[in-house]
C-alpha cells in the first residue's frame, strides 16, 4: 500500500517520506501508528446542471478582541443571500478578512457557522470547511420568502479587534433555468452527538477510553446517550453525509437503526495534513461518492458516534456531528440491512493554506520560566488585558517572575477583563510552554485540571464557565509549572511550587 507521511518543515517547505522511512518518522513524531489515516482520498466535484451560477454571499461581522462568542443573526440584507428563487446545488463556507484574504486559523478561527432556513438546520461548517455538494440532479430548495438565520462562533485568538466576512459560496440554479424543473429536493437531517444542545460540545479527557481512543457517546455514561439519535420522519433516500469533528477527532460514524437492527452507513475519516496530524485543524473530512444511495423508512433512527484520540491532549469542546442529505420521497438506494453500504470516501477540498501553521517554533518574546528568579509569594493572580499579571512569560522584569506557592495549597486566578466578552482559561501545558502558538501548540497537558473559560454567558449556548475565578490545586511536587489560555494561546504563564 502506498502509505506516506507528510512532514511540514518550517511552514512552507514540505518533504514526502516514502514507505521505507515511515518507521523512523513515526519515532521522530511520536505518533502512534494505529492512528495514522491512509493517504487522503481524491478531491471530487459533482457536475453542475446547466444554468448554475456560482456566487459568494457574505455576512459582515465585527469581532471584539479575543472574542469567542456563540451568536445569532438574521440574513436579510442584499448580498447576504440570493435574491431569486431556485436551488442550492453546492455550498462552500469560508471566513475572510475585509481585504479578501483568509486569516490563518490561529489568528481568527471559524469555530462554527450554521445556516438555518425556516428554523431548519441546513448548512453547517467548522474550520475544516467541508463543502456541501449534493450529487448531480439534487439540490436544496431556496426561496426569498424563507427566513435565514446564521448562528456563528468566530473565535478571535488575538487581542486585536477584527472585522470579517462569513461567506457562503453557492452553486445556485435559478428557477428560470430549464434544468431547475428536474432537480430533486433534499433536506438536511442534523445528526449530532449532542443533539438539541445550542452549543453541542462534550469533554474528551486525556487518557480516557480504550487503547487511547474514546468513542462518544458509546464510551460515556448512559445519561448522555440518546442525544445522538435522530428519528427519520419520511420514507426517502440518503444521498450524502459528512462528519464534523474537532482536533483530536479521528472519525465519525453514521448508523441506521430499524427495530432491533443497527447498521453502519458511513465512516467519515479525518485526514490530517502536516506533522501535527490529529492535534490540529489542518484536516479534510471524507464524504461518500456521488453514487452512495441508502433507502430509509419513516420510523428509522439515524445516529452518530465520534471517535477521538486521547493519547496527546484533552479537549473539552469536542464535537461529533454527521449531517445527512435526505430526499423528500423515496428515490432508490440500497437496503443497508441487505447490502453493505459503499465505504468509499472522497474529499470536497484538499489542504487549506490557512490551516498550515503548527506553531511550536522558538519565540524570543517568551521567557523560559524555569530559568527565572522567584517571584513574590502569592495566593492570587489576576488576568487582565490578555496578561497573567504575575508570571506571564511575556512580561519583562519582576512581573514576569513565577509567583511562589506552597506545595499542597491553591493558587487562585481571577479574570478581570470584561467578563461577558473576553473569556480566559488556565490550562496546564508542559514546561517551558514558551514556543510560538499555532494550530497544534500549545497542547493541553493534563487530564482534568483546567479552569474552564472564566467569564459569563448564557449556559449551554456559550463556552463560558459562568464564574470569574478558579483555584488551581497545587501539587506536592516542587518545580516550575506552566499554563496557557485555550482561548488565546499566545497567553502563557508560570508558577513555582516550593
Ligand atoms: Cu485568554
Q: Which domains does the chain have, with CATH numbers?
A: 5-30 (no CATH), 53-355 (no CATH), 359-498 (2.60.40.420)
pLDDT for the residue numbered 423: 93
pLDDT of residue 280: 83
- Using the mean position of ligand 1's atoms as its centre, give its distance from the Cα of residue 419 in Å: 11
Residue with cell 471584539: 64
- Cβ atoms within 10 Å of 416's Cβ, excluding its own: 15
Instruction: Count the Cβ atoms, other than its own, within 10 Å of residue 19.
Output: 11
Q: Cα(133) to centroid of ligand 1, in Å? A: 37
157 CA → ligand 1 middle, Å: 8
**Length of the chain counted residue by residue:** 498
User: 68-74 and 53-63 as β-strands: parallel, antiparallel, unpaired?
Assistant: unpaired
Q: How close is the Cα of 201 to the center of ligand 1, in Å?
A: 19
pLDDT digits (tens, 9 = 90+) for 84-128: 999 999 999 999 999 999 998 888 988 889 999 999 999 999 888
Q: Quote the pLDDT of residue 202.
A: 85
C-alpha 277 – ligand 1 centre gap (Å): 25
pLDDT given for residue 276 in this prediction: 66
How many angstroms does the Cα of residue 347 sit away from the middle of ligand 1?
34
Q: What is the mean pLDDT of the chain?
A: 88
Most confident stretch, 24-38, 44-58, 345-359: 44-58
What residues have CB less than 8 Å from 298, skipping those under 6 apart? 232, 233, 234, 235
Model confidence over 193-203: pLDDT tens digits?
988 887 888 88
Q: Rounded to two decimals, what is the model's pTM?
A: 0.86
User: Which triple of cell numbers denotes residue 255?
Assistant: 448508523
Reply yes or no on whether the pLDDT at 241 is more than 80: yes
Rounded CA-CA distance 332/124 in Å is 26
Question: What separation in Å is there between the alpha carbon of 163 and the centre of ligand 1?
Answer: 19
| C-alpha of residue 216 to centroid of ligand 1, in Å | 28
Residue 438 CA to ligand 1 centre (angstroms) = 15
- Cα distances (angstroms) measured from residue 41 to each of 16, 145, 347: 17, 39, 6
Q: How close is the Cα of 453 to the center of ligand 1, in Å?
A: 8
Distance of CA 223 to the CA centre of its chain: 24
Q: Is residue 367 a contact partner of residue 482, using CB atoms and an 8 Å limit?
A: no
Q: How far is the CA of 341 from the centre of ligand 1 (A)?
A: 45
Q: What is the mean pLDDT of residues 416-432?
A: 93
Assigned C-alpha cell, 446? 493534563
10: closest CA among 448, 479, 358? 358
**How many angstroms separate the alpha carbon of residue 378 from the centre of ligand 1?**
21
- Ligand 1 centroid to Cα of residue 154, in Å, is 15
How many Å lie between the centroid of ligand 1 and the Cα of residue 486?
7
Distance (angstroms) between ligand 1 centre and the Cα of 426 equals 8
Report how far residue 70's alpha carbon sits from residue 112's, in angstroms, rounded to the nearest whole number.
Answer: 9
Q: What is the CA(327)–ligand 1 centre distance, in A? A: 44
Q: 61 with 152: CB under 8 angstroms? A: yes
C-alpha separations of 252 from 126, 197, 433, 441 in Å: 15, 18, 32, 24
Q: pLDDT tens digit string along 346-369? A: 999 999 988 888 888 899 999 999
| Burial state string for 22-46 with b = 16 or more CB within 10 A and e = fewer than 16 | eeebeeeeebbeebbbeebbeeeeb
User: Cis (ω within 30 of 0) for the bond into 432?
Assistant: yes
Instruction: Please list the residues that pair with 464 across neighbouring strands.
Output: 453
User: Ligand 1 centre from 425 Cα, in Å?
Assistant: 6
Grid coordinates representing 368 are 523560559
Cα 219 to averaged position of ligand 1 atoms, centre (Å): 31
Higher-confidence residue: 247 or 425? 425
**Contact between residue 476 and residue 377 where contact means Cβ atoms under 8 Å apart:** no
Tell me the HSE value of 422 on the side-chain side, using a 13 A CA sphere.
21
Interval between CA 357 and ligand 1 midpoint (Å) = 20
Distance 26 CA to ligand 1 centre (A): 33
Q: Is the pLDDT of residue 21 over 70?
A: no
Q: How far apart are CA 233 and CA 244, in angstroms?
A: 23
**Residues with Cβ < 8 Å from 448, sequence gap 6 or more?**
205, 314
Q: What is the mean pLDDT of residues 332-341?
A: 98
Amino acid at each position: 500500500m502506498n502509505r506516506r507521511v507528510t512532514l511540514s518543515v518550517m511552514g512552507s517547505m514540505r518533504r514526502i517520506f516514502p514507505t521505507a522511512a515511515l518507521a523512523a518518522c513515526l519515532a521522530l513524531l511520536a505518533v502512534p501508528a494505529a492512528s495514522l489515516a491512509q493517504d487522503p482520498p481524491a478531491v471530487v466535484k459533482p457536475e453542475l446542471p446547466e444554468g448554475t451560477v456560482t456566487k459568494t454571499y457574505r455576512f459582515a461581522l465585527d469581532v471584539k478582541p479575543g472574542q469567542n462568542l456563540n451568536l445569532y443573526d438574521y440574513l436579510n440584507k442584499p448580498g447576504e443571500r440570493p435574491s431569486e428563487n431556485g436551488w442550492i446545488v453546492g455550498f462552500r463556507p469560508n471566513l475572510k478578512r475585509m481585504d479578501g484574504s483568509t486569516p490563518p486559523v490561529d489568528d481568527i478561527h471559524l469555530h462554527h457557522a450554521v445556516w438555518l432556513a425556516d428554523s431548519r438546520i441546513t448548512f453547517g461548517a467548522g474550520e475544516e470547511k467541508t463543502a456541501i455538494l449534493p450529487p448531480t440532479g439534487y439540490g436544496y430548495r431556496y426561496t426569498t420568502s424563507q427566513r435565514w438565520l446564521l448562528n456563528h462562533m468566530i473565535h478571535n485568538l488575538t487581542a486585536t479587534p477584527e472585522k470579517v466576512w462569513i461567506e457562503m459560496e453557492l452553486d445556485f440554479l435559478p428557477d428560470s433555468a430549464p434544468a431547475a424543473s428536474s432537480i430533486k429536493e433534499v433536506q438536511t437531517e442534523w445528526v449530532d452527538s449532542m443533539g438539541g444542545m445550542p452549543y453541542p460540545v462534550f469533554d474528551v479527557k486525556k487518557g480516557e477510553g480504550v487503547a487511547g481512543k474514546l468513542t462518544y457517546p458509546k464510551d460515556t455514561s448512559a445519561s448522555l446517550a440518546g442525544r445522538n439519535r435522530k428519528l427519520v420522519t419520511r420514507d426517502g433516500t440518503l444521498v450524502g453525509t459528512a462528519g464534523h469533528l474537532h482536533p483530536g477527532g479521528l472519525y465519525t460514524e453514521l448508523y441506521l437503526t430499524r427495530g432491533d437492527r443497527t447498521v453502519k452507513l458511513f465512516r467519515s475519516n479525518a485526514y490530517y495534513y502536516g506533522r501535527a496530524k490529529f492535534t490540529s485543524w489542518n484536516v479534510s473530512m471524507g464524504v461518500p461518492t456521488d453514487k452512495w444511495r441508502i433507502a430509509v423508512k419513516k420510523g428509522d433512527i439515524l445516529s452518530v458516534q465520534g471517535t477521538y484520540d486521547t493519547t496527546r491532549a484533552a479537549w473539552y469542546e469536542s464535537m461529533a456531528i454527521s449531517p445527512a442529505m435526505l430526499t423528500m420521497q423515496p428515490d432508490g438506494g440500497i437496503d443497508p440491512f441487505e447490502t453493505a453500504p459503499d465505504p468509499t470516501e472522497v474529499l470536497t477540498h484538499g489542504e487549506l493554506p490557512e490551516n498550515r501553521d503548527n506553531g511550536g517554533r522558538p519565540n524570543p518574546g517568551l521567557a523560559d520560566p524555569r530559568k527565572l528568579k522567584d517571584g513574590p509569594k502569592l495566593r492570587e493572580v489576576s488576568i487582565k488585558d490578555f496578561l497573567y499579571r504575575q508570571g506571564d512569560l511575556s512580561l519583562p522584569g519582576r512581573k514576569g517572575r513565577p509567583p511562589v506557592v506552597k506545595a499542597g495549597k491553591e493558587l487562585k486566578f481571577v479574570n478581570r477583563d470584561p467578563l461577558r466578552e473576553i473569556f480566559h482559561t488556565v490550562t496546564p501545558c508542559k514546561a517551558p510552554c514558551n514556543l510560538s502558538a499555532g494550530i497544534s501548540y500549545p497542547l493541553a497537558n493534563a487530564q482534568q485540571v483546567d479552569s474552564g473559560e472564566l467569564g459569563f454567558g448564557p449556559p449551554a449556548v456559550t463556552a463560558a464557565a459562568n464564574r470569574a475565578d478558579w483555584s488551581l490545586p497545587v501539587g506536592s511536587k516542587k518545580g516550575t509549572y506552566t499554563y496557557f489560555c485555550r482561548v488565546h494561546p499566545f497567553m502563557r504563564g508560570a508558577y513555582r511550587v516550593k
